[in-house]
Every structure is written in structure tokens, then in C-alpha cells.
A and B are shown apart, each in its own frame.
Chain A
Amino acid sequence: MARTMSVRSRGGEEHPLLEVLRRLDESGLAALLEARPDLLEPPPHTLPELAARALAPASVEICRHALDHGARQVLEALCLLPSPTTLGALIDLLRIDDLEAAADLADVTGRLCERALVARHGDRLQLLVRPEVPHPAGLGPPVRVALASQPAAVLEACADRLGVGGGATKAATLANIGKALATPGLLIDLLTEAPEGAAEVAASLAFGGPEGRAAGALYAAARSDHTPIGWLLSRGVLAPISWDSVVLVGEAGLALRGGRAFPDLALRAPEFSLQPVDAAAADRAAAERALRLVADITTILDRWAADAPKQLKAGGLGVQVVRRAAKVIDRAEVETARVVELAVAAGLVSIDAKSDSALPLPAYDQWSDLDVAGRWAHLVGAWLRWDLHLCLAGAVDTKRKPIPPMLVRAHESRAVARRRRVLETLAEIPPGHSVTVESLFGRATWDRPGLWASGLTSGEGLVTWSLLECELLGLTGLGGLSTWGRLVATGDIEGARAALDRLVPAATSQFVVQADLTALAPAELVRPVQAELESMADLESRGAAVLFRFTEASVRRCFEAGRTGADILAFLDAHAAKGVPQALRYLVNDVARRFGQVRVVATRCCLRSDDQALLAEVVASRAAARLGLRLLAPTVAAASADPPTVLAALRDAGYAPAEEGADGALVLRRPPRRRAVPDRRLAALTGRPSNVDAAFGPVGDPFAAGTAAAVGPAAAKAGAGPDYAATAARLLRTEAPAPKPPAPKPPAPKTPAVELPLPASVTRGMPPPVASAFDLSPAGGRPERIARDPAAVADLLQRALVEGWPVRMAYTNKKGNSTQLNAAVLDVGRREVIVELLSGWESRVLALSRVSWVRVLTEAEEDSL
């Protein structure tokens, strides 16, 4: 029969679980599957297969996780006892002494049996599978296990110290030690003689988990009794488990607890501390919250649709955005963050990838078409499935910074379960009552200790979060579950929608328009009416009632959307419950009268002529079609082509058009003469006025500046003043082995000044040399010197610019990083130099003061680049 080895013990006999399963009737089996739904995935074919699955550690762990606190305690207690055991032994271990508690114990064991973790035959209890709990009941392993690895001599010494003496065998010694430690009172008596601190260590391990860290536990064991840990180790109360950890042996732990396995045994769920509330009032409060939530989401998303806020670089929405939204909906910022997060959960809003800002999704429009209760139900449905805690948005992270909403966060698989647990726990409260958070937390943790153990905040914090979410959605009111909240807890969202719908004021299509130009709808407006009204009036306040204000601008907006005055008045007549006041009629008629009185026409240029016949002819001509000509008035025509095209086309067609400037005068254009665009490097040299003077003599020529740019190099080569000086300088330099310090710039304005390092005597005293043409020729050879001081750097760069030599320079940027670069000089200014990098061809503007040195590249170097 048995096909799976795992359900057979080594001896070949069947696992007791299979036996138990075989004995179950259909309802019992169904109850097992309901309690452990993971066994059904995929559905097992045979009982042995089911048994094998039920014994798998993973499944056992899932089952244990879903157990309530009482069942967990009993299960762990059974782990401490030999299996099978008796009910009496269990009662003894748990120290149950009254009938009520015994009945609770029977219930708990019933739950364990139902889950096929325990089998019960009359008084006999058998643990069917041992869950992998490191320390059941928080007690360490028994002496026989914990001290098994200790040498016999150590154990004997230990037994002596306990006053029981060693046994014949190691096992006997261990048994003696165990028995001694388990003897009531013995350990406590012994501890009175222990060194200071030993009792505290023992107590903290007995009640707060048996493992502890103690540096060098093994060495301490070898040493004498003087340290607390050493004392405890040498008596077998503690056992070393690694080089720095110890464990309190089970017998000692139990003895210290007074023989009671659980000091905090809680076989029954804690009672709620109930406070009565008016159920109707609670429903009204909850309804108010639910409706407000829907209205607030609408308000925020409508605003964002018009003005989408950007997301932060790190993701999520900034504090400013949240603050603004909070102001609009009059909620706290933290709460607003949750509202936004909920809208995200409901798939109503997202970050638009194109604009990187938060925009409503298309689903928002479908959602908006639902009635209020429907919109709310959609939110609730989404919330129940959303595997993130809404409250994390707006909470403070570990760096004390608020966590922004709409941040992509790691999913928390338990968020959904936590939410449902809180809802279900709330549903257990009798209607018309509320409870405190503490009371709710107590109950929720008893029900599912596993849910709250590890999370982003404390267990109580997690319960509070879930409660806040319920409150935000209007599932609770005045601290108790509302009628629809109760239905949501049972999973009946449709029923909840209907229940809320009964409290929602019916949407109306009528509003009241008053003489102060406001329109007020006492309840929500039906969608098309609301949309139409929004198109012609500004929303002033939204809440249970909606208030609009008509202004000239808002009415004009409606005209721009294509309505006419008659349309607007007809709409108002149809929906204004108490008539349309005269002032509003006037406003609409006024706007109607003025709307479109001034027309804006898009043109590229227009034609004007006093001769109406001529203009009519032009417009009718063949050229007109190409130019997009049309008459605006008898003397004005618009064209869709630009002025030069129109002028050319009309000239071609035989007309004599002229262009008119903005001042009304004719614009006369001579045909342009084509000239080259000056080269920058050349311009830099020739752009200097002194050069121009030199080139063209003292006679001022108004075109000098313009033409010099074009003819500059030639002029320079033609032999003018400054070149003598430059030549002289070069000559001098070739004489001198080392470069001389640069002279101050010649102050006299008349002196033709090329700012090269010249000795003052040269420029001032000597007559200008005659020849200069060769001076600028590349044949002159490149200087090899390295310019280091600022003036020399500028001069060398200037020369490199003139000559077109590439340079190598060292440049320190603002951050203090120094780099060397090869570059062509494009321009030298007073403070900066513009260069083009030879690697990569990009240009840079460098501060002259930051150039630490510069030299001209040799031809060989230039070629190799």
C-alpha cells in the first residue's frame, strides 16, 4: 500500500500519521485540508502522498506559523516530553490546576489534532511530527544532550559539585546531573552560594531564551568557580555550545521557572476591553471618512492632471508636493502621503515615464465614472491585495527622513495577511463596541504571533498601521468596525459597497445658483452635470456639498470650449433648482457679446496697399495660392509665406512690392555682397585697433574694423610697426640663452603693441625694423622655452595663437586637479584662453591664471599626435 518511503520508519512500519489519516472520516480530512491549505498544492492523489507532504518540514513550519499562541505553547510543551506521552504529563508540565484551563487545553489539543500535528487516543498523546523549533518553550537541550560532548572527568567533577557524585558510566553521570538539576529547589539553593551575578545570568537565560554569549566560554569552564559563567559551567547549569556561546540546560531552566514550562501560559485568547459606542454614530463617522477619502483622491489627482509634480531623483514625491496636497485636502502630511499611496495601490496614478512626474492613469477615468460607493469599493479591493504597508509612506526612516509616497519599495509579503488579521480581529468585536489599540494588539498577537514578530516596525506599530489604514478607508468609525467594514472582513466587498451606498447621499443633477454668482450642489453632482458645470465655473470648495463660482474668465473658458451663450443658459435653466439670477444671465450675455470680437490670425507677413483694386488683383493672381494670400480687409491681405519669399514671388509676378519696417518706413535692401566669415584665429590678431592703425595708417577708415578682420593677416605681413618689435624681440631672444623675464606691457597707447615679452628699451628706443614678413612665417622655428609666470604664459599663448602652433600646457581646475593637455589656441583674452583639445576636438575656456605652464609643441610632437 505504502509507496512512499518517507512515511515508513526505518523498521518498515508505517508512520503513525498515515494511520491517523486512514482513520479520519471525510469531514475530518476536509478540516485538515482547510486548516493546512498548502497540502493541496498540487492536490495529492493518495493518502500516503498527503501524509508525506504533511510531514515535510516546510509544510509543518507553515502550519506552525498559522497557529495561535496557545497551540504553539502546547506544541512546544509536547516537544519537551517524550512521545507518546499522557495528558497527565502535559498538564503537569504546564502546571494546569483548574478545570477551566484543562478544558482550554482540551480545545488546544483538539486544534493540534485537527492539523495532524498530534494524535490523541484517550489519555495518550503522540506528537506526529516534531517541528523544527530550536528551543521549545525557550528551554535549552536536556543535560544528556547538552553535556554529552564533555569529557567524563569533567562531568564527574560537575556531579561532585552538585553533590550527587558520578555514575558508573558517562551516561549514568549525565543522568545524575540531570536529576540533580531538575530537583526542585536544589539549584536555587546552590545559587545562593554562587559568585555575584551568577543568579542573574541564570535567570535571564531561563526567562529570556536559553542561549547566551560569553567570551571564551570553554576557557571559563576550565577555570575555577570565581566568575559567574565559570561557576555555572562547572556545575552543568550552562553548557558550552561554541567557543563564545553557552546554553542553559533544559532541566535548569525548568527548575528556575519553578517547574512550569510557560510562565506566561495563555491557552485562551485574551478578552477585549470593550467600550460601548453608538453603532449608528460609528457608521456615520465611518461614512464621512469613506466619502472624504474618495473626494480627496479626486481633488489631488485632478490637480496633478493639470500640474503634474515631478518625482524626486531618488524616486517618490518630495515633501513640498505632499505639503501642497495636504493643504488642499486639509489633512496632515502623513495622512496625505497615505492617501497618495492608496491611489497608487488602486492603480489610479503613477509616474509618467515620459515626463517623470505623477499623472493619473487611464484607469482613473473609469474609476471616476463609478458612483461614490463603487469608487470606494475599488479602493478597498485594491487595498486588500496591496502587499505594502500604506503607512510606511510618510513614516520616518532610520535616518530620520520621511519616506516619500510613490517610492518603489520592496514588497512585504505579510502586509496583506496583517491587514486581514486586524480586520478579522475587529470583526470579532461585538457590534456597537470599540477597543483600544493595546487590547486589539493583544488579541491579534495571540491569534497569530508569527505575523507581528518581524516587520518594519514593532508588532504594536504594525497593528497601529493596519488600524490607521482601516480608519483612512472608513472601515472603522469611533474605534469600532462599521457595517461595511464587517462585510469587508468577511470578504464581501460588493455587500460592503451596497451598505455604504445606503448612507451616501444620492447624486443630484440639481444645484442652486445665487445672486453672488455661486452655484451650490447640496450633494455630489451626477458626472455629466458636474463636468459641464466645471467647464463654466471654478470649483471653490468640495466636501459633502460642492461650491462653484462663476467668473468672467470661467464663462469665457466655456465659450472657448465651443459652447454658446444659449447653450450655457439652457444648461443652467435645466439644472438650477431655484432659477438663474439675473446677474448671471448678464454675465453670460456679456461674455457672449464680447467673445471673439478681436480675432487673432496666424500669418507670416501681411500685404498692405491703399489701392484696393491692386490688392484684390494680387490676391487673385496665381502667385497667391503658393503664398497663401487672403484678404483680411480691402487694404490688407495676410500671407502664410515669409517676407523674402513673398517679395520674390511678387516681383517675379511683375509687381513692385516693397518691404515695410515696424516703424512704417520702407526697408531698402541692396543685394548683399558675399564675403568670407573671418577665421577666429586670424581675427584675434587683427581685431586689435593698434594693428588696424598700423595697417592702414593714421587715416581713420570707417570700414577699418570690419575689413581688417578679413585682410588682417595680409596687412600684418605687408610690414607694419608692431612686427618690427616682434622681430627684434625674437632676435634678442635667440641671442640670449635663457628667456628673459617678460617686460611690463608698454603703457603708451601710441606704441604699436603686440604683447610679446620685449625688453622695454627695444620697443621704446629703437626705430622699427624694416622687414617683418618672415617674422610670422612658420620657418621662424618654434620656441622651446616653457613659460611659467602669468605674463609669459599669456604671451606665449598669444604667439601660439598667431602662429597656429599647438601647445602643451598644465592646467589646474577649480577643484585643484592638475592635468596636462595638448591644444590648439583659438583665442587669448585678458583673463582666459580658448583652446581646442587636440585629443577629441572639443574646445575649452581656461582661466589664464590657472595655467601653470605652457610650451609650444615641437613639429615632431605635433606630427606624432
Chain B
Amino acid sequence: MPSEPTAGPLIIQSDRTLLLDVDHPDGAACRADIAPFAELERSPEHIHTYRLTPLGLWNASAAGHDAEQVVDALLRWSRYPVPQALLIDVADLMSRYGRLVLDVDPVHGLVLRGTDRAVLEEVARAKAVVPLLGPRIGPDTFGVARGERGRLKQALLKVGWPADDRAGYVDGTAHPIALRADAGFQLRPYQVEAVDAFVAAGSGVIVLPCGAGKTLVGLAAMARAGARTLILVTNIVAARQWQAELLARTTLTEAEVGEYSGERKEIRPVTLATYQIITTRRGGLYPHLELLSAEDWGLVVYDEVHLLPAPVFRMAADIQSRRRLGLTATLVREDGRAGDVFSLIGPKRYDAPWRDIEAQGWIAPARCVEVRVTLADEERMAYALAEPEERYRVGATARSKLAVVEVLCQEAVRRGEPTLVIGQYLDQLDQLAERLGAPVLNGKTPTHEREKQYEAFRRGIEPVLVVSKVANFSIDLPEASVAIQVSGTFGSRQEEAQRLGRILRPKADGRQAHFFTVVARDTNDQEFAARRQRFLAEQGYAYEIVDAEAVLQSAAAARAAAADSTATGLAATAADTELAAGPRALPGARPELPPAADDPGV
């Protein structure tokens, strides 16, 4: 135990942030100790910031950690004396979880039991809780109507006394599902751990970075549940993706997998539904939501749980007796409803930091580059004169960007990197598509056309794909290794992370992925870009900044040199523009990519 004041790797601030020096020899051990209860806020290169929050501590309580362990870990690793008040607070907060228990009584059904009568009395008087409690059964017990299970948990969390839900789950209609042994893949160790953690708890959220194979965790969980399953996904493309995965990797047949969307309304043992369809309202009702809720599901999977819309929360509150699995890359919700995820979907059951998985080689290492384009004078004038609400569009869609994007694409194609060009504005995308001679996909593209293009891209027939924000979520483009972002939804940090996730699937040859953001200098495009990058910078992705002039010049130089020798010219380009993927720059274009390899990261 370190006793010298300068020994520990952890600095505990009085505002409840924990600063972890990752370069410290004890850094890794300390991280392992504090990760279960502290929420990772930022993980840049040297010092990671964790925060002690009530939700984080309750997550730890739910996972079986006790206050003594937490206090002990803080005291053991802290470099400086730990504020006494903070320790007392931690102990106090953690002891709150579990003093109220939702349980099943053989006689009275669902009951709320208090191990501490004072607490029970307190919550029984809270305005938000009273209407959800049934008759008092004993001094320490209240009856609870089955339908109020979720809402009661929500209300209890709000008043600061989260209930431990031990009321168990119904198994739903059994339906055997198994992972196919012949599909040529194996679950990665962390995926197995995640599934085990989920199955042990019955419901909860698994946090894995984009590209770490969340879908597969979902499939494995379904196999373990062996029951009718409802999978809620963000959009129809993601639904098709899931469907393909289900058919490829499990024993399910097409007849067993249904799609419930705007196009088709199939309810089968495994049903995929989009958030959009179940939140469709007709006459003040959610007809689809009610229809689906009525089924006897044994498991409900929520893909991208951080995007869960409010009506789905309501449904989740109604089906508390079903097992629920939330999958996400981040628990950061931009609407601040993290508490609802905790009480309605369940506590966090498993969490693997992005960088750890990358270090283990499960996701591709990525390099992020911000390319700054200086606008032409007339563009600057147009920007200066634009209406305030139009400014971002004017800056982000500046024509000066096109040349840079073109050069980057050419370079990528020459090196055989499948490339995605992602943007927000359709005009801009059309211009780009025309200039690059690449197909463009947007929200209006019919689904079959979209899938055709994806397939062509997967096979390497189309080296470049220009996509709108339809590509933000849940499409699977295994071999995309370069993404060029030309515009985005203002400062959305989440979108940035999702887009980076597009290229993080591990590559067959282990090469590095590149993420370029093309930004117009001295416009609010640059400000929004900085805001978008903050999340990734906090996650440890350092953005390099490159001037567009440098890119264009070196490309010109490369073209000149290419006349002499292709290989040396490329090397020069790589060196000049810092496009090189470390030491192994790939010379020459690859003839054609092999068909999508079976990658366990899907």
C-alpha cells in the first residue's frame, strides 16, 4: 500500500472526479479496481478522468460490489489524502441500493419490501411514489400492481432509493435458437463475459464500442434465452443487417425471422422492429407498440439503447417481467435520460473500454485527421453574408472542399482502401458523387438499391461510396477502411463516434483505418468539428490537423512523380501528407477485394 504522498496513480478531486495517470506503473491495476464503480468520462492519452456518480455507484452495487471495496480502492490508489466527506458519501449512496427490494410474494404477488423501515416510510410518502404503491401488506411490505413495476422503479430512482429488482422474469414462449457451429467463428472472450454477465442478471445493458461485435453478443444472448425474441433496432437497414446475421450465424431459418416495419408486418418467433414503426402514432395510440407488447416475448433486445425514444421507454416500463438486453457503445444520452435506461432496461452489466479492445486487436486502430480547407474569397463572402441559420450549411458545403475530397479519394483508391464519403447535405453529396464517379446513397434510395450498392462496395466493385446520414447507424461495411466526413449534424458528438465506428471493424490484413474530417477554416464548421471531436478526443483518439494546401500540393507532386515510378511516388505522397498508415504504406492498388470475409466482429 503506497504511503508516500507521491506514490498512487489516482488523484481524487473534491468535485468527485478521479484522475487516473495511465502511464503510472500501477495505472492498469488501479483502472481495474475503479472501473466497476466509476464512470469513465474522458480517456485522452495520459490522464483519464472518471467520475463518481450515484448511477455509477448503484451500477456497482447491482453488480455485487460493496462500499467497503470502493472506499478501499480509493484509499489504496489515491496519491493524496482522500476527502473524508467523499468517502462518507460513497458509503451512503451505495448503501441506498438494495434497501428496497422488488420481490415476488407467494401470496400477494409482486411486492416492495424494505429492509430499512425508515426508508420505506420515506418513499411511501414521496409524492411520485404513492400512486404506484398498492395496499400495505405488512410493516415492511407494500403490494405492487404488476403493471407498475417499471414505473415504480423509475420513481424510486428519482427519489434516490433505487430498488433491487429480484422479481424475476417470465420465460416467454420457448423457441430454440442456437449459434451455428459451422459458421466459422467463435465468440471473443469479452463477448462471452458480456453474455455471461447478462444472463446472470436477467436484464441490463452491455456497453461495447462500435465495431466490437455487439450484434453477436445479442445473438448469443438469444441463444441462451431460447425464447421468442423481439429485437428493436434504429432503422430498416439495421433490421436487414440483423436479419442477415441471424440467418448466417444462428440456426434460425427465414420462416422464423420476421420483419415488422413500414414495408412488412410479420410477427414471427424472432421479430425485428424499428423504433420508427413502434413509435408511429395513430389517433393518440401506438397501435404497433401495443400489438407487439401483447406478444409473449422471452427476450427483448434494444439495439443502440442510447437512442431509445421516449414511447419505447413507456413500453419497456410495461414489460418489466420480460428479459431485456440493451446494447450500446455509450451510455451518454444527449437527452440526459440515463436514469431511465438504468431503471427500465437495467443496470450496466458489462463495459469494455474502447482502447482496451483496440489494444487486443479486436477493432482496427484508427487515425483521425482533420483537414482544414481555406475557402476561396467568394465563398468567404458568401459565408459572411449568409443568414445565421444558413451559415453552417454554407460553410460545410463550400465547393473548395470538393477538390480535397477528390484528392483524398484518389489516394485511398490508389492504395486500395474502400472509402466512404459521408455528408449531411444532399446537394453536396450529389456534387461529390458526380465528381468522384461514385454512387450516392441517401434516405430516398430504395432499400433494395441500397443493399445492392452495399454489396457492390463489399465486393470492391465500387471502391467509393457517397452516403448521407443513413450510414450513421448499424450498417455493416466490413472492409471500409477510410471515411471522409464532409459535413455533419452540427456538433453531434454521438454522430462523430458512430461515423468513426463505420471503419473500426478489424481489417483482414490488420491495417489501420483512416478517418478524415474536411473542415472549412474560419467558419463555424470548424467550431462544430471541434465540438464533435471532443468525445473522441476524450476517448483517446487524437486528431491530427492537416492543411488542405499540403494535401493538394503533395498530391500534385505525387502525380508528377508517378510518371517516373508509381511506388516511390506513393511513398513520397504518404510521407508528405501524413496519410501513411505508420510504416506499412500499401503500394499500388489492390486488384479486387475478396468477398466479405466472415468476421466475428459483426
* A interface residues (Cβ-Cβ under 8 A, vs B): 280, 284-285, 287-289, 291-292, 329-330, 478, 503-505, 512, 514-518, 520, 522, 541-545, 547, 552, 578, 581-583, 586, 594
Give A578 to B23 CA distance when docked, in angstroms.
11
Contact of A288 among B46, B80, B543 (CB under 8 A): B80
Residues from 527 to 560 in B contacting A, C-beta threshold 8 Å:
527, 534, 537-538, 541-545
Q: What residues on A are CB-neighbors of B82 within 8 Å?
A: 288
Q: Which chain B residue lies CB-closest to A583?
A: B543
Give A515 to B42 CA distance when docked, in angstroms.
11
Residue from A292, A330, A503, A516 with most neighbouring chain B CB atoms (10 Å): A516
Are B80's CB and A515's CB within 8 A?
no
Are A583's CB and B542's CB within 8 A?
yes
Are B534's CB and A516's CB within 8 A?
yes
Residue B366 lies at the interface, judged by CB distance under 8 Å to chain A: no
Are A541's CB and B17's CB within 8 A?
yes
Residue B599 lies at the interface, judged by CB distance under 8 Å to chain A: no
Given A288-B84, A583-B537, also A541-B545 (CB < 8 A):
no
Residue from B14, B47, B544 with most neighbouring chain A CB atoms (10 Å): B14
A612 to chain B, nearest CB (A): 24
A274 to chain B, nearest CB (A): 20
Query: Would you list 9 pairs from A and B whose C-beta atoms are within 8 A, ordered by A residue?
Result: A288-B83, A330-B14, A512-B47, A514-B47, A515-B537, A515-B543, A517-B537, A520-B47, A541-B15
Given A505-B6, A514-B47, also A543-B14 (CB < 8 A):
yes
Give A292 to B80 CA distance when docked, in angstroms.
12
Q: What residues on A are CB-neighbors of B44 within 8 Å?
A: 514-516, 518
Residue B566 lies at the interface, judged by CB distance under 8 Å to chain A: no
Are A520's CB and B544's CB within 8 A?
no
Q: What residues on A are CB-neighbors of B106 within 8 Å?
A: none
Give A516 to B43 CA distance when docked, in angstroms.
9
Are B15's CB and A330's CB within 8 A?
yes
Give A541 to B11 CA distance when docked, in angstroms.
12
Residue B434 lies at the interface, judged by CB distance under 8 Å to chain A: no
Give A541 to B49 CA distance when docked, in angstroms.
12
Are B13's CB and A541's CB within 8 A?
yes
Are B545's CB and A545's CB within 8 A?
no
With an 8 Å Cβ cutoff, the count of chain B residues facing the other chain is 33
Q: Which chain A residue lies CB-closest to B84?
A: A285
Residue B45 lies at the interface, judged by CB distance under 8 Å to chain A: yes
Q: Which chain A residue lies CB-closest to B526?
A: A590
Give A518 to B537 CA distance when docked, in angstroms.
11
Contact of A544 among B45, B47, B79, B541 (CB under 8 A): B79
Mostly, the B contact residues are loop
Give A478 to B527 CA distance when docked, in angstroms.
49
Are A288's CB and B537's CB within 8 A?
no
Residues from 7 to 27 in B contacting A, C-beta threshold 8 Å:
11-15, 17, 19, 21, 23
B342 to chain A, nearest CB (A): 24
Q: What residues on A are CB-neighbors of B84 within 8 Å?
A: 285, 288-289, 478
Given A287-B81, A522-B79, also A543-B542 (CB < 8 A):
no
Given A505-B5, A516-B534, also A288-B15 (CB < 8 A):
no
Are A516's CB and B537's CB within 8 A?
yes
Contact with A along B177-221 (1 / 0, CB 8 A): 000000000000000000000000000000000000000000000
Contact of B545 among A288, A291, A514, A586 (CB under 8 A): A586
Given A505-B80, A515-B44, also A543-B13 (CB < 8 A):
yes
Q: What residues on A are CB-neighbors of B79 within 8 Å?
A: 505, 522, 544
A501 to chain B, nearest CB (A): 11
Give A586 to B14 CA distance when docked, in angstroms.
32
Are B545's CB and A583's CB within 8 A?
yes
Residue B445 lies at the interface, judged by CB distance under 8 Å to chain A: no
Residue B522 lies at the interface, judged by CB distance under 8 Å to chain A: yes
Are A544's CB and B13's CB within 8 A?
yes
Given A288-B83, A522-B79, A541-B17, also A515-B11 (CB < 8 A):
no
Give A93 to B79 CA distance when docked, in angstroms.
62
| 9 extra A-B contacts, CB within 8 A, seeds A515-B541, A516-B538, A594-B522 | A503-B81, A516-B534, A522-B79, A541-B17, A542-B13, A552-B527, A582-B545, A583-B543, A586-B545
Contact of A285 among B23, B81, B537, B542 (CB under 8 A): B81
Are B81's CB and A284's CB within 8 A?
yes
Residue B115 lies at the interface, judged by CB distance under 8 Å to chain A: no
Residue B565 lies at the interface, judged by CB distance under 8 Å to chain A: no
Give A292 to B15 CA distance when docked, in angstroms.
12
Q: What residues on B are CB-neighbors of A514 within 8 Å?
A: 44-47, 537
Give A544 to B86 CA distance when docked, in angstroms.
14
Q: Which chain B residue lies CB-closest to A288?
A: B81
Contact of B544 among A330, A578, A582 (CB under 8 A): A582
Give A585 to B543 CA distance when docked, in angstroms.
12
Q: Which 10 A-B pairs have the closest CB atoms?
A: A543-B13, A288-B81, A284-B81, A516-B537, A514-B44, A515-B542, A544-B80, A545-B11, A586-B545, A543-B14
Contact of B19 among A280, A545, A578 (CB under 8 A): A545
Give A547 to B17 CA distance when docked, in angstroms.
11
Are A503's CB and B5's CB within 8 A?
yes
Give A505 to B47 CA distance when docked, in angstroms.
18
Q: What residues on B are CB-neighbors of A522 within 8 Å?
A: 11, 19, 21, 79
Give A503 to B23 CA distance when docked, in angstroms.
24
Give A445 to B498 CA distance when docked, in angstroms.
69
Residue B280 lies at the interface, judged by CB distance under 8 Å to chain A: no
Q: What residues on A are CB-neighbors of B69 within 8 Å?
A: none
Q: What residues on A are CB-neighbors of B83 within 8 Å?
A: 288, 292
Residue B447 lies at the interface, judged by CB distance under 8 Å to chain A: no
A482 to chain B, nearest CB (A): 11
Give A285 to B80 CA distance when docked, in angstroms.
10
Q: What residues on A are CB-neighbors of B6 within 8 Å?
A: 505
Residue B568 lies at the interface, judged by CB distance under 8 Å to chain A: no
Q: Which chain A residue lies CB-closest to B87?
A: A285
Residues from 81 to 107 in B contacting A, C-beta threshold 8 Å:
81-84
B262 to chain A, nearest CB (A): 41
Q: What residues on B are CB-neighbors of A505 within 8 Å?
A: 5-6, 79-80
Residue from A292, A503, A578, A583 with most neighbouring chain B CB atoms (10 Å): A583
Residue B431 lies at the interface, judged by CB distance under 8 Å to chain A: no
Are A520's CB and B80's CB within 8 A?
no
Q: What residues on B are CB-neighbors of A515 within 8 Å?
A: 44-45, 537, 541-543
Q: What residues on A are CB-neighbors of B17 within 8 Å?
A: 541
Contact with A along B66-84 (1 / 0, CB 8 A): 0000000000000111111
A20 to chain B, nearest CB (A): 54
B432 to chain A, nearest CB (A): 26
A636 to chain B, nearest CB (A): 20
Q: What residues on B are CB-neighbors of A288 within 8 Å?
A: 80-84
Q: What residues on A are CB-neighbors of B522 within 8 Å?
A: 594
Residue from A280, A512, A578 with most neighbouring chain B CB atoms (10 Å): A512
Q: What residues on B are CB-neighbors of A518 within 8 Å?
A: 42, 44
Residue from B3, B6, B15 with most neighbouring chain A CB atoms (10 Å): B15
Contact of A280 among B3, B12, B15, B545 (CB under 8 A): B3
B111 to chain A, nearest CB (A): 38
Contact of B13 among A280, A503, A545, A582 (CB under 8 A): A545
B201 to chain A, nearest CB (A): 33
Give A167 to B543 CA distance when docked, in angstroms.
113
Give A594 to B47 CA distance when docked, in angstroms.
31
A335 to chain B, nearest CB (A): 10
Q: What residues on B are CB-neighbors of A582 within 8 Å?
A: 542-545
Give A292 to B82 CA distance when docked, in angstroms.
11
Give A520 to B17 CA distance when docked, in angstroms.
13
Residue from B3, B13, B23, B82 with most neighbouring chain A CB atoms (10 Å): B13
Q: Which chain A residue lies CB-closest to B522?
A: A594
Q: Which chain B residue lies CB-closest to A593?
A: B522
Are A512's CB and B81's CB within 8 A?
no
Q: What residues on B are CB-neighbors of A544 within 8 Å?
A: 11-13, 79-80
A266 to chain B, nearest CB (A): 35
Give A542 to B465 CA distance when docked, in angstroms.
48
A131 to chain B, nearest CB (A): 46
Give A505 to B8 CA distance when docked, in angstroms.
12
